[in-house]
Structure 1
Amino acid sequence: MLQTSPPAPSAASQQIQSPARHHGPSDSDRTLHATLAPLTGGLSPTALTLAYADWLSHLFWAPTQRMDLVNDALRRGTQLAEASIGQTAPWSLIAPQPQDRRFSAPEWREPPFNLMAQGFLLAEQWWHDATTNIRGVSEQNEKIVEFATRQMLDVWAPSNFALTNPEVLRRTVSTEGRNLADGFRNWWEDLLELMAHEPKHDFVVGKDVAVTPGKVVYSNKLIELIQYAPATETVRPEPILIVPAWIMKYYILDLSPHNSLVKYLTEQGYTVFMISWRNPTAADRDVSLEDYRRLGVMAALDTIGAILPDRPVHAVGYCLGGTMLSIAAAAMGRDGDSRLKSITLFAAQTDFTEAGELTLFINESQVAFLEDMMWNRGVLDTTQMSGAFQILRSNDLIWSRLVHEYLMGVRSEPNDLMAWNADATRMPYRMHSEYLRKLFLDNDLAEGRYVVDGRPIALSDIHTPIFVVGTQRDHVAPWRSTFKIHLLADADVTFCLTGGGHNAGIVSPPSPKAHGYQVMTKEADGPYVGPDDWLKQAPHAEGSWWTEWVHWLGTRSGEPVAPPRIGLPDVDPGALPNAPGSYVLQT
């Protein structure tokens, strides 16, 4: 893309400006920040310092509140001391939250371990009270301080140490210490793997996962487009285009045959196309967010139109892919492009004002720090990306794993979802900077400032029916955030809330273990129902939301026809590369 230079300053401005003044970061400053990044886990030390300064200064000028906190600490300490002397029922002082599984084993109900657990939980609760509801502290700084303090406390949970974890002690006795030897071996294997930069592959792409038959029918410098082979004698005339997030490999939606959404859709009589994004390198540092729209969504639609002329498309976007699909759909609505028959968004945000704890990493200081880190490398590396998501769920993804594998000495059974999660991708410098600033920081998409082809777009230009899936325990795209599409699009919106998290809630094939879901439709001209009232009103259904969605697609599809040919008319299908293609194999 063309880069233009700014206009030369006028003579008057040249006289006013100091020749020694620098506008923008210097290379040396950026290098310094990039050097600091590995030491801070990619977090801006300035952002953390300012947050704690905000909290401490306001707490300093609140002597009554400080005294209340001191009295509360003394009261809790007294209660804990009395409980240690007398006979008390388990969890008589405080009990773990339902989602806190660190102390769920029966051994934690016995003394002295129950007392240790309660002491830790009382301290955790006290620090929560001390870091929240301090008058005058900005909301984001309060969240940063509360989150960072909780992370530091979690390190010292009694469940993390062999001598204070009754489960580990019991296993050590029963195995005569073999669990600790096995745990050391597990740790050593992981260290060697980390040093070698060669992760183990229990599930091979194209052999164990991503095995639904298909062909790569188009490619450019950013995507490969896969067309999957039909699995039925007839298919619906409208094809499905899936736009996965480029923050992940596409085969999250084509895992093992038993939980592949792609395979399920082809068996329901749909022609499915999938975008497989290229894994960028430092050479792709200047690839923009607009490139992802133009070379991704729009190039895929153009190719589908050449293979299946005059066929409207059911478009599907997952996570960041859903955000990009929304951008593309809004631009198409503005420009009178009617190629979309329906739009489906899986755990995808269009308004970023309530994007959950991920927004703790998104402020001006943090974005500038990340930009300098990416500027030095050309990409946001996979370690920073996966590290940020693990911190959001440190108890489940970090500490419980360390205890299980290194203290209990038990390796977790590998599964396809875990293998996919470890198969991370990078993010180009320019694209990720624009994504953080335009979407997260400035919320341009929701507020009508996002520009496509030189003109702003508005989500209210989307009049195509929309099916939205949110998941109850989503830490990346909280369902209340995805719910905001009701306020933005001028279309019929069917919202479906299912159990599970950002990934497991979406990969939910029909089975007795399916999460169940709630679903309700708001007509384009119907009254708005807020998320709290929606929870009360939306009917509950058992089973997988996949069946609900396929029914929704079916009511918006034509009568079945003969399957289309695979690939463009002038290309021999036999000469096309087989799925999963080559881009998904890039490391």
Structure 2
Amino acid sequence: MAQDDSVDTSDEHADLDKLNKNIERIESLSKRLTAALARKKPIPAALQGPSQDLYLKAANAYLSEMINNPAKIVDHQIGYWGKTLKHYVEAQQRLVKGDLTPPPDDSPKDRRFSNPLWDSNPYFNFLKQQYLTTAEAIETTVDELDMEEHERKRMEYFTRQIVDMLAPTNFLATNPEALERAVETEGESLVRGLENLVRDLEDHDGEMIVNLADKSAFEVGKNIGTSKGSVVFRNRMFELIQYAPSTETVHATPLLIFPPWINKFYILDLKEQNSLIKWVVDQGYTVFVVSWVNPDESYADVGLDTYIEEGYFTAIEQVKAITDQKKINVVGYCIAGTTLSIALGLLKKRGDKSVNSATFFTTLTDFSDQGEVGVFLDDDFIDGIEEEVNRSGIMKSLYMSRTFSYLRSNDLIYKPAIRSYMLGEAPPAFDLLYWNSDSTNLPGRMAVQYLRGLCQRDELATTGFEICGETVHLSEVTVPMCAIGCETDHIAAWDASYNGVRKMGSKDKTFILSESGHVAGIVNPPSKKKYGHYTNDDITLPPQEWKAKATFNEGSWWPRWEAWLKARSGAQIPARVEGDSGHEILAPAPGTYVKSS
């Protein structure tokens, strides 16, 4: 019988077909990539980084140290060289002996290097240890520069940005997880990564912004921002939403919430399980929320005075009229809390007693300590912003969202980019990250007022802030108040928030410190049983002493705040229904303004 020498080539044909299809996809994606990049608009140089003066001062400080204290510089460099060379020699000696295990690794734990190959593979372990050693040497050098404290902090921050950007995890050739995935998928992960990159560029007009969440997974009003209610008032600044009751009776005094206008209000109503709005409604309150307009160029001349007169004061009067109450309780979150404090000072000057009590969520009113965001509040950046808003009329959402992202660049830029572009993974269906990307513009005049008068000059807590024809001081906030700070807040540092509370004129003050950060510390429902909180009645103490003597309480701060609010919300009355006061219902919640991009 003749032997069959034919070879089955079906697998080879399949591989070839797959390769050809991937080549076609890459060619198509390359054309889309070019088209997307062509849509990119130039960003002013002043908004791309700090002025050269900062780097010149750092260089001069280093040169001065070399001249005045050469022994210190030499000692530092020899220490770095010695550590680097020792690690290199140890690795070489092991390879010569045929030992493929890395030398001892006492480098600090770092989530970026969680893949086992960073510890077990000699090549990747060598890269990791050399990078961490170099990063430590650079950071130590900057930390020891003889510079003014604020400038040194800025230098530390921007140096850290460069060091983080150059991490071996951020490059395909030095990322073991990305290389493994590429081999496992025969390059398919890299093609999917290119698709993700092109999609992100197309979504953001050529800007390199990683989509943090799957945008197709959410629709405001359908699966997020779904609490039942109605828009009962609208003007050019906001829509006023009244939420439907879920109890037969409610407290007589209504609650009006002012969210920040740098993001959409539904952070307080992401889904039923973690909605602060729904939870407060379920406790028996008539809840109103302001949904701010997303301004375009026509809002260029809108300032904080407009937000107060046409926003805060109008909303307060509407809630009073709808509920037939002379006084209401109010909440301000972040920048809306800062502006609420100004509004309360104005009401005090005008003899208006419409506000019964005020609550501040992660609010800065004393800017003497600007926290981490302070690196962006010097004239080099603010001058650039002022020039840009004078040209365009608005501070585009791009600048604000990018600034906050770089405060947590490893978590909000590099890690998502690695996952999306090098591993080829689709962004997760995560509601919080979806909201985080749904940012808004700021009116030009308002942005400059806030940055100059409040952030830079700290006028509200010092000389007084000029607004609506008056000069308002923080001491003129005299209503009963409760403030919630968040322990790891990188936007509104809790101790700065606490210091602002101490300067307010209220005799009835409560401060609660939640665990976690700017958002997770606030969106912390009792059902999660995740983050606890600190309490201490002595608001006269300095921040760290207050915390050291505080009582730690397990679980969410929500019930503690609600007990505080309940004591200031009056007797129970039959529940109010939207429109039962005769006000026209304009649209179902969450309204129309929240959906504008």
TM-score range relative to shorter protein: 0.7 to 0.9
How far off its partner does 1:127 sit? 1.6
The correspondence of residues 405-416 of structure 1 with structure 2, limited to 5 A, is 405-416=420-431
Fraction of identical pairs, as percent: 35
* 1:519-554 deviation per Cα after TM superposition (whole angstroms, max 9, x unaligned): 22336xxxx112212222211122222222112212
Q: Which residue of 2 aligns with 1:116?
A: 127
* Residue 83 of structure 1 pairs with residue 87 of structure 2: yes
* 1:55-112 deviation per Cα after TM superposition (whole angstroms, max 9, x unaligned): 22232222244542343232122223223433777542x314xxx5212343322233
**Using the alignment, how far apart are the partners of 2:315 and 2:299 within structure 1?**
20
* Residue 48 of structure 1 pairs with residue 55 of structure 2: no
* 1:486-517 deviation per Cα after TM superposition (whole angstroms, max 9, x unaligned): 33112232222222221222111123452222
Q: Which residue of 1 aligns with 2:226?
A: 211
AA partner of residue 417 (structure 2): L
**Using the alignment, how far apart are the partners of 2:437 and 2:586 within structure 1?**
29
* Residue 147 of structure 1 pairs with residue 157 of structure 2: yes
Q: Which residue of 2 aligns with 1:23?
A: none
Q: Choose the corresponding residue for 1:128, options 139, 149, 154.
A: 139
Q: Choose the corresponding residue for 1:471, options 457, 479, 486.
A: 486
**Using the alignment, how far apart are the partners of 1:226 and 1:65 within structure 2?**
65
Q: Which residue of 1 aligns with 2:302?
A: 287
**Using the alignment, how far apart are the partners of 2:420 and 2:576 within structure 1?**
50
Q: Which residue of 1 aligns with 2:72?
A: 68
Q: Which residue of 2 aligns with 1:17?
A: none
**Using the alignment, how far apart are the partners of 1:182 and 1:36 within structure 2?**
26
User: Structure 2 vs 1, CA of residues 509 and 38 (structure 1 numbering), >3 Å: closer, same or farther?
Assistant: same
Task: Look up the SS of the partner of 2:367 in the other structure.
Answer: coil
User: Structure 2 vs 1, CA of residues 460 and 195 (structure 1 numbering), >3 Å: closer, same or farther?
Assistant: closer
Contact 2:237 2:307 in 1 (8 A): yes
Contact 1:280 1:427 in 2 (8 A): yes
**Using the alignment, how far apart are the partners of 2:453 and 2:42 within structure 1?**
23
* Residue 502 of structure 1 pairs with residue 502 of structure 2: no
Larger Rg: 2
Contact 1:41 1:384 in 2 (8 A): no
* Residue 545 of structure 1 pairs with residue 548 of structure 2: no
User: Structure 2 vs 1, CA of residues 39 and 109 (structure 1 numbering), >3 Å: closer, same or farther?
Assistant: farther
Contact 1:217 1:568 in 2 (8 A): no
* 1:111-170 deviation per Cα after TM superposition (whole angstroms, max 9, x unaligned): 3333322221222222222223422x2223222222222211212101112232233334
Q: Which residue of 2 aligns with 1:19?
A: none
The correspondence of residues 88-487 of structure 1 with structure 2, limited to 5 A, is 91-92=105-106, 94-96=107-109, 100-110=110-120, 111-135=122-146, 137-195=147-205, 200-487=215-502
User: Structure 2 vs 1, CA of residues 286 and 540 (structure 1 numbering), >3 Å: closer, same or farther?
Assistant: same
Q: Which residue of 2 aligns with 1:10?
A: none
**Using the alignment, how far apart are the partners of 2:148 and 2:411 within structure 1?**
29
Contact 2:254 2:285 in 1 (8 A): yes
User: Structure 2 vs 1, CA of residues 183 and 90 (structure 1 numbering), >3 Å: closer, same or farther?
Assistant: farther
How far off its partner does 1:366 sit? 2.1
Task: Look up the SS of the partner of 2:574 in the other structure.
Answer: coil
AA partner of residue 218 (structure 1): F
Q: Which residue of 1 aligns with 2:544?
A: 532
**Using the alignment, how far apart are the partners of 2:535 and 2:46 within structure 1?**
39
AA partner of residue 467 (structure 1): C
AA partner of residue 542 (structure 1): E
AA partner of residue 586 (structure 2): L
Contact 2:461 2:473 in 1 (8 A): yes
AA partner of residue 385 (structure 2): L
Query: How many pairs align?
Result: 540
**Using the alignment, how far apart are the partners of 1:205 and 1:41 within structure 2?**
35
How far off its partner does 1:449 sit? 1.7
Q: Which residue of 1 aligns with 2:504?
A: 489
AA partner of residue 108 (structure 2): A
AA partner of residue 563 (structure 2): H
AA partner of residue 526 (structure 2): P
How far off its partner does 1:345 sit? 0.9
Deviates more, 1:436-445 or 1:48-57: 48-57
AA partner of residue 398 (structure 2): T
User: Structure 2 vs 1, CA of residues 531 and 114 (structure 1 numbering), >3 Å: closer, same or farther?
Assistant: farther
User: Structure 2 vs 1, CA of residues 123 and 544 (structure 1 numbering), >3 Å: closer, same or farther?
Assistant: same
AA partner of residue 168 (structure 1): A
- What runs of 5+ residues in structure 2 fail to find an aligned partner? 1-39, 95-101
Q: Choose the corresponding residue for 1:515, options 531, 534, 553.
A: 531
Contact 1:469 1:498 in 2 (8 A): yes
**Using the alignment, how far apart are the partners of 1:66 and 1:102 within structure 2?**
35
**Using the alignment, how far apart are the partners of 1:555 and 1:105 within structure 2?**
52
Contact 1:211 1:254 in 2 (8 A): yes
How far off its partner does 1:353 sit? 1.9
Task: Look up the SS of the partner of 2:76 in the other structure.
Answer: helix
How far off its partner does 1:39 sit? 5.5
Deviates more, 1:60-69 or 1:224-233: 60-69
AA partner of residue 576 (structure 1): L
Contact 1:307 1:569 in 2 (8 A): yes
**Using the alignment, how far apart are the partners of 1:473 and 1:559 within structure 2?**
37
Contact 2:370 2:496 in 1 (8 A): yes
Contact 1:237 1:311 in 2 (8 A): no
* 1:184-234 deviation per Cα after TM superposition (whole angstroms, max 9, x unaligned): 232233233334999844211111111111111111111111111111101
User: Structure 2 vs 1, CA of residues 90 and 177 (structure 1 numbering), >3 Å: closer, same or farther?
Assistant: farther
AA partner of residue 170 (structure 2): N
AA partner of residue 512 (structure 2): C
Contact 1:43 1:369 in 2 (8 A): no
Q: Choose the corresponding residue for 1:558, options 558, 565, 570.
A: 570
Deviates more, 1:543-552 or 1:169-178: 169-178
AA partner of residue 537 (structure 1): K
Task: Look up the SS of the partner of 2:112 in the other structure.
Answer: coil
**Using the alignment, how far apart are the partners of 2:80 and 2:145 within structure 1?**
20
**Using the alignment, how far apart are the partners of 2:128 and 2:509 within structure 1?**
46
**Using the alignment, how far apart are the partners of 1:560 and 1:107 within structure 2?**
63
**Using the alignment, how far apart are the partners of 2:459 and 2:88 within structure 1?**
56
**Using the alignment, how far apart are the partners of 1:380 and 1:66 within structure 2?**
47
AA partner of residue 474 (structure 1): D
**Using the alignment, how far apart are the partners of 1:148 and 1:552 within structure 2?**
42
Contact 2:239 2:593 in 1 (8 A): yes
AA partner of residue 499 (structure 1): E
Contact 2:531 2:554 in 1 (8 A): yes
